[in-house]
Amino acid sequence: MVERIQLLAGRLAGAATAASPLSLPGAVPVPEPQQPLLPRKVPGADFDVLRIRSQFPVLNRRLPSGGFPVYLDSGASAQKPRVVIDAQRDVEEQYFANAHRGTYQFGLRIDEAFEGARADVARFIHAPSADSIVFTPGTTIGLNMIAAGWAVPRLRPGDEILTTVMEHHANFVPWQQAAARTGAVLKFLPLTSDGRLDPSQFDTAFTARTRVVAVTAMSNMLGSINPIRELTRRAHAVGACMVVDGAQSVPHLPTDVTADNIDFLVFSGHKVYGPTGVGVLYGRPERLEEMQPVHFGGHMIAQVGLEKSTWSAPPARFEAGTMPIVQVIGLGAAIRWMEATGLDDIHAWEMHLTGMLYERLSQIDGIRIFGPKPEFRGGIISFRIDGVHPEDLATILDHHDVFTRHGHHCTMPLHTSLNVSASTRVSFGAYNTADDVEAFMRALQKAVERLRG
Ligand code: PLP
């Protein structure tokens, strides 16, 4: 995955300027930057962002001010294109029924659409088969299922779970709980001073006791892209299982679970331009076989007796009860929309905007931009400005119809290690324009002038 990212990131070479380094306790010097590869094409040259934006109804509605929303919070949740909204309405109006239940006309059609969405997801992330795709309510539940169903039955006292301080709480607290329940130990891959995983520490971080490596492919605060293929290689070399939190990477970067050889990947529908309430847990077939279900009931069983029951094969084993059928079908539509739009192009465009924003922000007096230069990050930038509290800033930006996120972004350990309680985050989606960046910068300048008096 990281190789492709560097390829795409090469388009931005030269766009970066220096930002204040992170002050992580125990941070080590930044290693020599990897040489960005040559660009395949000019950033976003053939990307018709206005056509794309026109497909998102909510971005084309007028606000009470008369203006349009400048939506810069796609890292929290992406907006939905018309095809996703229509696909869901179509189910409810035309053929809704429960899935895997009825053999009447609606039942057959819903099964076809539901399983079609599973095939869409498998193709999109290059999974070996649709059976390795489990639908979940989202990333958080998927990670809890892996921690409780795969890791807890295997972990022994003294075993090590290797993770990072940049994880979202969803990929941190379940492992903390797993460690508490089993006597395993949580260990952290050290970061460089610019907020990347430090490869010079890998040799010592992976040990014969490492059983699970749980890492995000892209940080939702620093924006850092992590070298998943290399981490997986090292995890497997010590016999550990590689769990990847793809919540931020899957919407923005091409994903190939087979080439990366990972064991588990999770992501959420609502961040990939799909609905809320649905997510994906990919598991390598043998890992899914090993994993215990954590939810029990209808559909996931093979036989139920008075004394005991047996489970059906994956993925049904992990899909107890009625699934979010409409949302699964909406997710399939979102995946097809991303494929048709082109993830390489979406990524290149977002990186173009990220480079622009990074450069503009870097010129602000007293700013601290968290995370690495644009070529080592995805389309997320978090920052603090001296004398400007993120909450006050968010309120003023909102008055200018600019929607950003502020707070700890569910990364308290990371914010603590950065010695800040909160930050402001801008995150891009396929529909953002250079005008959005300009509108944000204008609003930011006014806010800073006002808050600094
Ligand atoms: N992991 C990362 C990196 C995230 O950014 C998020 C959400 O922001 C999550 C996990 C949790 O996703 P969800 O709330 O959809 O379960």
Q: What is the pLDDT of residue 337?
A: 98
Q: What is the pLDDT of residue 453?
A: 81
241 carries an active-site annotation: no
CA distance 371 to 373: 7
Question: 78: Cβ below 6 Å to ligand 1?
Answer: no
For residue 239, the number of C-alpha atoms closer than 13 Å in the C-beta half-sphere is 9
Among 194, 186, 249, 143, which residue's Cα sits nearest to residue 371?
Answer: 194
Q: Ligand 1 mean position to 81 CA, how many Å?
A: 21
Is pTM beyond 0.85? Reply is: yes
Atom of ligand 1 nearest to the CA of 170: 10
Q: What is the pLDDT of residue 259?
A: 98
Backbone angles phi, psi at 140, to 5 degrees: -60, -50
Question: 222: Cβ below 6 Å to ligand 1?
Answer: no
What is the number of residues in the chain?
Answer: 453
Please list the ranges in the chain whose pLDDT falls under 70.
1-45
Q: What is the pLDDT of residue 45?
A: 58
Q: Ligand 1 mean position to 114 CA, how many Å?
A: 24
Strands 405-407 and 210-216, by their bridges, are unpaired
Q: What is the pLDDT of residue 44?
A: 55
Nearest CA to ligand 1 atom 6: 247
Question: 164: Cβ below 6 Å to ligand 1?
Answer: no
In this structure, the number of other CB atoms found within 10 A of the CB of residue 394 comes to 19
Distance, CA of 355 to chain centre: 20
Q: What is the pLDDT of residue 250?
A: 98
Among 310, 291, 292, which residue's Cα sits nearest to residue 301?
Answer: 310
Q: Which tens digit of pLDDT belongs to each residue from 402-413?
A: 999 999 999 999
In this structure, the number of other CB atoms found within 10 A of the CB of residue 391 comes to 11
Q: How far is CA 194 from CA 31, 103, 294, 369, in A?
A: 10, 57, 39, 10
Q: What is the pLDDT of residue 28?
A: 36
Q: What is the pLDDT of residue 43?
A: 53
Q: Ligand 1 mean position to 109 CA, how many Å?
A: 32
**Choosing from 410, 418, 444, 447, which is the catalytic residue?**
410
Question: 216: Cβ below 6 Å to ligand 1?
Answer: yes
Q: What is the pLDDT of residue 22?
A: 32
Q: Ligand 1 mean position to 296 CA, how many Å?
A: 25
Question: 382: Cβ below 6 Å to ligand 1?
Answer: no
Question: 284: Cβ below 6 Å to ligand 1?
Answer: no
Nearest CA to ligand 1 atom 4: 247
Q: Which tens digit of pLDDT belongs to each residue from 25-78?
A: 333 333 333 333 333 444 555 789 999 999 999 999 999 999 999 999 999 999
Strands 402-403 and 309-311, by their bridges, are unpaired
Question: 411: Cβ below 6 Å to ligand 1?
Answer: no
Q: Ligand 1 mean position to 168 CA, how many Å?
A: 7
